[in-house]
Structure 1
Amino acid sequence: MPSFSFISVKQKEHTFRLVSLPVGLLTRISYAAVRRKDVEEGAVQRVLNNSRISGIKDFALKIGDFPASIVLNWVGEEIEENGGQVEIPDTPRSAQILDGQHRVAGLREALESNPGLEDCQIPVAIYEGLDTAHSARIFISINTEQRPAPKSLVFDLYGIAASDLMDPAAIRANDIVNHLSGSGQPYYNWIKLPNQDRKRGGVALSTAVNAIKPIIDEKGQLDQIGATELEVQKAIFSNYFNAIKGKYGNHWDDKNNALIYASGFIGATDFFRSHMYDYCKARESFEKETISKALAFGETNLILQEEVKGMGGSKAANAIHQRLISSFKPESKSQGFKL
């Protein structure tokens, strides 16, 4: 029977063991007991999300850094200690997963693709014999109090993380948003970065990145016309938002400007995808002037935040999208692809 060094940790009501287990053993002995699906004590897990599993599999195959502990509730034959080590029976379904079911599932799939991961070490916290109530308390603690990093912080870290860890489209979108928030650009001082002081207005970095990402993703709209270079994509988005900014004149930085809020950014990006992209593509021009001429609104009928006050995020974004559509007055086709 395999044995491992361990650290015993006592925290108020419970004691657990911290051990380092090889991926192969971990994936064989653990399983997810799903709430309202599996009739057994300790069943607190949610149904697995296949897209998350696929992402973790790819991460494991590329890099494989998993410093956070998988948390197990041991329900199999009794674990024994021997000479300062703990013996872990290699028996399927010996331990319910309290935290880390997607990591374990992703590692299991990665192991099928690369058997060499069998001996990769993963930190594991092992409780023994918890009932459903105590399992639920630990699960809730992990998933409410110990929250993951905000998306904005994750995107902000893209600039200093190894590029092979990240989604290339998200990295590119992050670069574009950083450009749009630079001096002289339309969202200067309006992109909210992690740990900044709170203020009224502004667009969270993660919101802007998520809005732009589908447009510049592989097989996205800009990819379809060969506009794949960063500088070209930066110019397209800069021209687009500067054209809208121009309609506001001196009122762009007013707190009542709907476009400097998250719903405004999303609505404007949706309008680019649904209407402005095809218009510019047909004219082979993404110049600011081309875009501006197609937008028939100005200082007398600006899109204001008061119009969407009280609306939910998606409803407000859709309302702004519709306002831009109503102002869309395309001109006849011109000649020459320009930026």
Structure 2
Amino acid sequence: MTRTPATKKHSVAAVLITQGRHRFYTLTLSADILADTCFVIVRDEDPIEGFQRLLSETRAKNIADYIDNGLGTIPTSVILSAQESADFQYDSKNKTASFNLDSKSFLVLDGQHRVYGFRLSKSNLRVPVVVYAGLNRTEESRIFIDINTEQKPVPNELLLDIRKLAQIQNDVESLMGEIFEMFDNRTDSPLLGKMSPSKRRKGLISRVTFNNGIKPLLKLFSEGSKDEIYGMLSAFFGGFIRENSKNSADLDVTNPTVFKGLCLSLPEVIQRVRDKYGKEYTIENFSDIFSEMFNNVRISNLKTTGITPTQFSNHISTALKPTSIF
């Protein structure tokens, strides 16, 4: 339903804050007032004045659903610039701010998807807001740039680590998290000391790299327990690491390309083990298959600058074919 706010004055408690040469006001607004008084300029619609990116309805709908499920909280302030039509005024004695309830009262500098989500939401929450007053378009643009360049997103590795603590993992994430921790903690893990749970670090396998490599393989283990999956993968990586060392190939399994390329080759390597040894998926049997691979592959091909995981896997596949030397 389209809201049509009346053109009248609204007053709310507010605090004036000064930072350097900038003055702004902190306050809270109900979600419906926020939705009724804010607008966003999109560059595709207004190439002269616009500086905001295109809005994603899907993202806004996800925010609305998150709010409406009754469990969501979004404490981050929406940042606005009061426009001339707002007639924004601050009463320092009573510590209140007043403004017109006009559809173009506030330009959104940060939080446009939250505002869009509030508009789609069935709930009417109180929303923390920061309001700048008296800015021109140049100043608004500079603040927008400052907000979007100085704020750094939380690394995906840390988010994956925290999702477990927050108990919001899905079944696949939970399974991959448990397997990751087995490789990270078990004394028999061939990757012990090579894992990084919460950040991306050179020489270590992050959760993002691990998940990207392992997730496509889970369909191979649809009926396996986490211990069975770990056992298979442990023997696989252990066999590779053993033969890599024997052949002085110096291929770093923690390198994302090497790790993902190995994961892509897993189905074919498993088939070779099965053909030769049945379902005896031991580190020794995987080592035997990788020994054949190292005998038939040019190591330099696996170290080519810019090689992709798929190309890495293809080299392994070619080397596993009978009488192939390349």
In structure 2, the CA distance between the partners of 1:81 and 1:129, relative to structure 1 (3 Å rule), is closer
In structure 2, the CA distance between the partners of 1:222 and 1:47, relative to structure 1 (3 Å rule), is farther
Selected match of 1:144 from 149, 157, 170: 149
Q: 1:270: which partner in 2?
A: 264
Query: For structure 1, which segment, 256-265 or 44-53, has the greater mean C-alpha deviation from structure 2 after superposition?
Result: 44-53
Q: 1:318: which partner in 2?
A: 310
In structure 2, the CA distance between the partners of 1:92 and 1:149, relative to structure 1 (3 Å rule), is same
Q: 2:96: which partner in 1?
A: 85
Q: 1:241: which partner in 2?
A: 237
2:195 is aligned with 1:191: yes
Spell out the pairing of 1:209-228 with structure 2 (5 A cutoff): 209-216=211-218, 221-222=219-220, 225-227=222-224
Contact preservation (8 Å) 1:18, 1:126: yes
| Cα-to-partner distance string for 1:107-158 (whole Å, 9 max, x where unaligned) | 333x1xxx2x21x222111113433322222222222221011112212222
| Cα-to-partner distance string for 1:17-38 (whole Å, 9 max, x where unaligned) | 1111222222232232122432
**CA–CA distance in structure 2, aligned partners of residues 57 and 284 of structure 1:** 53
Q: Which has the larger radius of gyration?
A: 2
Contact preservation (8 Å) 1:257, 1:303: no
Contact preservation (8 Å) 2:160, 2:207: yes
| Structure 1 vs Structure 2 CA RMSD | 3.7
2:201 is aligned with 1:205: no
Number of equivalences: 307
Q: 1:60: which partner in 2?
A: 67
When normalised by structure 2's length, the TM-score is 0.76
**CA–CA distance in structure 2, aligned partners of residues 277 and 130 of structure 1:** 64
Q: 2:3: which partner in 1?
A: none
Q: 1:28: which partner in 2?
A: 36
Spell out the pairing of 1:24-173 with structure 2 (5 A cutoff): 24-39=32-47, 41=49, 43-62=50-69, 63-75=71-83, 76-81=85-90, 83-109=94-120, 111=121, 115=122, 117-118=123-124, 120-161=125-166, 163-164=167-168, 166-173=169-176
Contact preservation (8 Å) 1:259, 1:303: no
Identity %: 22
**CA–CA distance in structure 1, aligned partners of residues 294 and 269 of structure 2:** 21
Shift of 1:233: 4.0
Structure 2: 5+ residue runs without aligned partners?
A: 1-8
Structure 1: 5+ residue runs without aligned partners?
A: 331-339
Contact preservation (8 Å) 1:186, 1:238: yes
**CA–CA distance in structure 2, aligned partners of residues 317 and 33 of structure 1:** 41
